[in-house]
Amino acid sequence: MLSVLSALVLVLLSAVTFFICRTLRQAEALQNFGGEWSTKYSRLWLLWANSSGKMNTIFTVVNDKYGGRPTARIAPHMLITRDAELIKRMNAVRSPFKRSEWYTALRLHPTRDNITSVTDESVHSDIRNRMSPGYSGKENTHMESDIDHRLLDLFDLITRKYSSTAQNFRPVDLSRIITYFTLDVISTVAFGQEFGFLKSDSDPFGYIANLKEFLPAIIVFGAYTELQRILRLPIFRAILPKSTDKRGLGRVMGFAKERVEERFGAKPIVRQDMLGSFIARGMMQAELESETLTQITAGSDSTASALRMTLYFITTNPAVYTRLLDEITTAIAIGRVSRPIIRDAEARRLPYLQACIKEGLRMYPPVTGLLAKEVPAEGAELEPGKFAPGGTWVAWNSWGLQRNQGIFGPDAEVFRPERWLPRESDGQDKDEEGGEERRLERMTETVGLVFGYGRFGCLGRGVAMMELNKGIIEVSGEILCFSRLMQCTSPWIYSALPNDKMPRCCSASTYKPSTPPSPSPRSALVSFSIRI
Ligand code: HEM
């Protein structure tokens, strides 16, 4: 009995000694990088930052504070960087950096990895090669009309359910229905059938509510990634979402599974969409069940945040919305905007709209998760004279990256779409490292990083940009052109005339460019609140 006890104590002591030695070695190895004192020895600071709801600004303060260097320490084995060049270097096609174990937290299916969670380079690149064509418009001929239909569903919902009358005031939370919009878009472009969030004006599967419940767990696993291994033990599988669940993430899994099943079997549905393209490239049924679920999580909240935040910045800046209104109404007047929904190609030709979208993505990069990459075994020099040993994780600070004053100017904290428009030359440009053209190029390259880069870059970028190109102008149109959404009690509350009084479709005759909408009596309005 005593010998068993002694053996146990010995094992425990060895484990503690190993842990202390490893922590001291890590602290020593990353001593060239600044960071909060406790991060040398523990991950508690990281856990605190992750769960604070302000990690974007906390990491930016850390990056600024420690010598103004772009890379700082946030855990014994982890750094965070706002250096665009380092991010590109780590993600480049032939880079020796790879995904760290952090990514395994993105596994949603109980037994299968997916494109975002797999850490094996060759498996990832094989999946990516087979999935990329499906994300492109060429192999997904319905993509644009699918997005148009969902946008019309959004406006239909507003008209149908939220038109106020003198007796009945019906506010709607625009932020909520924008999430519904992106979820219905992604299910339609992914497998040809919308979930029905907009039609039912509800979260029919309890998916959003369930994701919120998962959030604390995701935060803990982001800091203590090894805990995920425990969750994978068969004994814990029962608490993970599964496709037979009646509600939540599991129900969405079940929905995706059913849509995948329809494409196989005796009478398979054949459709030229993402799923059709993946099947044509040899993806198997079980693989697709995991991947389609990932498409939904990767493609909905990110785009909803981008839409919400850009709309918020536009509608709360009178100078910006007046200028955007001018651009829209002029384009309509000269027949450059199709109705009822603008074409993607037309939106791309509206410079001020494009400036607003880029500035919205810059001010509020939707993906602020750590996305940590791992330094190769031989180590790497991350900054001149600053070496990180093999195995170090380097996370990205997407918020800080987009606030680089050297790239975006001293007012990088301000939402100012004008920074994206060519400036008239004042003879000074040549001093600015390559002049005006180079300035715009550097800004465009940097804002593009909100979608990641290189071999890990976002596959859904084209879909997201199409949603933004159409969504920003059409919803802004509701706010700016049609006076349907007008601010009343706070920056977030909007009011609008019902559709029968003021047609939704822009037409040159209904607008007076540059004339701000005059407030109408509240009782005759539809109201909207935008929550962020
Ligand atoms: C504004 C909206 C979006 C933003 C800002 C965004 C951003 C990102 C980022 C930062 C990554 C990870 C890069 C890395 O790991 O280093 C990523 C990956 C990915 N995104 Fe998006 N995304 C958006 C919308 C979408 C949409 C709509 C879809 C689906 C239609 C999508 C599908 C994916 C996929 C499949 C990956 C994994 C790529 C890979 O591992 O090779 N994303 N995205």
What's the pLDDT score for residue 522? 29
Q: What is the pLDDT of residue 481?
A: 53
Instruction: Give the pLDDT confidence score for residue 509 in this predicted structure.
Output: 39
Q: How far apart are CA 417 and CA 343, in angstroms?
A: 22
Section 337-358 average pLDDT: 93
pLDDT attached to residue 500: 45
Q: What is the pLDDT of residues 168-187, one digit of tens each?
A: 777 778 888 899 999 999 99
Residue 434 CA, ligand 1 centroid: distance in Å:
31
**Quick one: pLDDT band at residue 427, thresholds 50, 70, 90?**
low
pLDDT attached to residue 197 = 95
pLDDT at 333 over 90: no
Asked if the structure places residue 489 within a domain, the reply is: yes
Residue 468: give its domain's CATH number.
Answer: 1.10.630.10
User: In which order are the strands placed within the sheet that holds 393-396?
Assistant: 71-75, 78-81, 393-396, 373-374, 98-99
For 477-519, the pLDDT digits (tens) are: 776 554 455 444 444 445 555 544 333 433 333 333 333 333 3
Residue numbers of the domain that contains 265: 107-365+447-529
pLDDT tens digits, one per residue of 270-319: 888 889 999 999 898 988 888 888 888 888 999 999 999 998 899 888 89
> Which amino acid type is present at position 192?
G
Residue 331 CB burial class (10 angstroms; 0-12, 13-18, ≥19):
buried
Ligand 1 atom with least separation from CA of 366: 5
Give the pLDDT mean for 338-359: 94
Query: CB of 298 within 8 A of CB of 464?
Result: no
Cα distances (Å, whole numbers) of residue 338 to 71, 342, 343, 352, 470: 47, 5, 6, 18, 11
> Residue 18: is its pLDDT beyond 50?
yes
Neighbours of 87 (CB within 10 A): 24
Using alpha carbons, list the distances in angstroms from residue 72 to 220, 304, 395. Answer: 21, 30, 10
Ligand 1 centroid, distance to 292 Cα (angstroms): 13
Closest alpha carbon to 484 in 458, 510, 460, 463: 510
Report the predicted TM-score, pTM, of the whole model to 2 decimal places.
0.87
Q: Does 71 fall in a domain? A: no
User: Best substitution site from 283, 294, 295, 458 to test ligand 1's pocket, by max atoms within 8 Å of Cβ?
Assistant: 458
C-alpha 409 – ligand 1 centre gap (Å)? 27
Q: Is the CB of 366 under 6 A from ligand 1?
A: yes
The residue among 442 and 2 whose pLDDT is bigger is 442
Predicted confidence (pLDDT) at residue 132 exceeds the cutoff of 80: yes
Could you tell me the pLDDT band of residue 407, with boundaries at 50, 70 and 90? very high
Structure-token pair, residue 362 = 């810059």
What is the rounded average pLDDT of the residues 110-133? 91
Q: Which run of H or E residues covers position 486? A: strand 486-487
Share of the chain above pLDDT 70, in %: 86
The pLDDT score that the predictor gives to residue 361 is 98
For residue 67, the model assigns a pLDDT of 58
Residue with tokens 């920003």: 472
321 near 480, Cβ under 8 Å?
yes
Burial class (CB in 10 A: 0-12, 13-18, 19+), 336: middle
- Residue 237 domain-assigned? yes
Top mutation candidate among 302, 362, 450, 465 for ligand 1, by most atoms within 8 Å of CB: 302
CA of 138 to the centre of ligand 1 (A): 19
Q: 76 in a domain, yes or no?
A: no
| Least confidently predicted of 335-339, 485-489, 528-532 | 528-532
Question: Residues 86-115: what's their mean pLDDT?
Answer: 90
403 in any annotated domain: no
Task: Verify whether ligand 1 is closer than 6 Å to residue 302 (CB atom).
Answer: yes
Whole-number pLDDT of residue 503: 38
- Ligand 1 midpoint to CA 24 (Å): 36
HSE-CB at 123 with a 13 A cutoff on CA atoms is 11
Do residues 451 and 457 make contact, with C-beta atoms less than 8 angstroms apart? yes
The two tokens of residue 168 are 């009945």
Lowest mean pLDDT among 124-133, 134-143, 433-442, 501-510: 501-510
CB-based contacts of 13: which residues, under 8 Å, 6+ apart?
none
Ligand 1 site, residue 459, Cβ cutoff 6 A: yes
d(Cα 239, Cα 261) in Å, to the nearest integer?
25
pLDDT (tens digit per residue) in 208-241: 888 888 777 778 887 888 887 777 777 777 777 8
Token couple for 294: 């990932």
CA of 324 to the centre of ligand 1 (A): 28
* Domain contains 473: yes
Q: Which of 272, 304, 298, 331 is nearest to 154 (CA)?
A: 304
Q: Which band of pLDDT confidence, cut at 50, 70 and 90, is reported for residue 68? A: low
Residue 442 banded pLDDT, cuts 50, 70, 90? very high
The tokens describing 405, both together, are: 């004053």
Structure tokens that stand for 179 in this block: 């999430």
Omega before 96 cis (within 30°)? no
pLDDT at 467 over 50: yes
CA 384, 388, 394 angle in degrees (round to 5)? 100
Q: What is the average pLDDT across 99-125?
A: 89
pLDDT at 430 over 60: no
How many domains are there within the chain? 1
Tokens of 429: 């440009």
H-state helical runs in 316-350:
318-333, 344-348
Please tell me the distance from the alpha carbon of residue 364 to that of residue 402, in angstroms, as a whole number. 9
Query: Residue 87's pLDDT is what?
Result: 96
- Can you list the alpha helix ranges (DSSP code H) found in 238-364? 248-262, 274-280, 285-315, 318-333, 344-348, 351-363
Atom 20, ligand 1: which residue's CA is nearest?
A: 458
Q: Which of the pair, 528 or 456, is modelled with greater confidence?
A: 456
Q: What pLDDT sits at residue 351? A: 96
Tell whether 458 is in a known binding site.
yes
Instruction: Give the pLDDT band of residue 191 (cuts 50, 70, 90).
Output: confident
Helix axes 461-476, 351-363, angle to 10 degrees: 110
Does residue 74 lie within any of the structural domains?
A: no
Average per-residue pLDDT for the chain: 83
What 3-state class would DSSP assign to 430?
helix
32, 222, 370 from 36: Cα distances, Å: 13, 19, 17
Residue 398 lies in a domain: no
* Side-chain half-sphere CA neighbours of 271 within 13 A: 18
Residue 95, pLDDT above cutoff 70: yes
Least confident span in 222-226, 254-258, 392-396, 428-432: 428-432
Separation between Cα atoms, residue 98 and residue 168, nearest integer Å: 57
Strand pairing class (486-487; 373-374) = unpaired
**Residue 213 in tokens:** 């419940």
Q: Is 371 touching ligand 1 by the criterion CB < 6 Å?
A: yes
